[in-house]
Chains A and B, each alone.
Chain A
Amino acid sequence: MTLQARLVVERPRFRLDLGLAVDAGEVVALLGPNGAGKTTALRALAGLVALTGGHIDLDGTPLHTLPTEDRPIGMVFQDYLLFPHLSALDNVAFGPRCHGASKSDARATAASWLRRVGLAEHSGSKPRRLSGGQAQRVALARALAAGPRLLLLDEPLAALDAHTRLQVRSELRRHLAEFDGATVLVTHDPLEAMVLADRLVVIESGTVVQQGTPAEVARRPRTDYVARLVGLNLHRGTADGRKVTVGDVLFNVAEDLRGPVFLAFSPAAVALYRSRPDGTPRNLWEATIEGIERHGDNVRIHLDGSIAVAADVTPAAVADLDLTPGQRIWAAVKATETHAYPA
Chain B
Amino acid sequence: MSLLDVTGLSVVTDSGRALVSDLSFTVEQGGRLGLIGESGSGKSLTALAVMGLLPPGLTASGSVVLDAPGLGRTEMVGAAESRLRPLRGRGAGVVFQEPLTALDPLMRVGRQIAEPLRRHRGLRGAELRRAVAAAIDRVQLPEPDRIARAFPHEISGGQRQRVALAMALAAEPALLIADEPTTALDVTVQAEVLGLLGELIAEKDMALLFVSHDLAVVSGVTDELVVLKDGRAVESGRTADLLHAPRQPYTRSLVESARTFENALERITR
* A and B part of one assembly: no
| A residues apposed to B, CB below 8 Å | none
- Taking Cβ atoms with an 8 Å cutoff, the residues of B that contact A are none
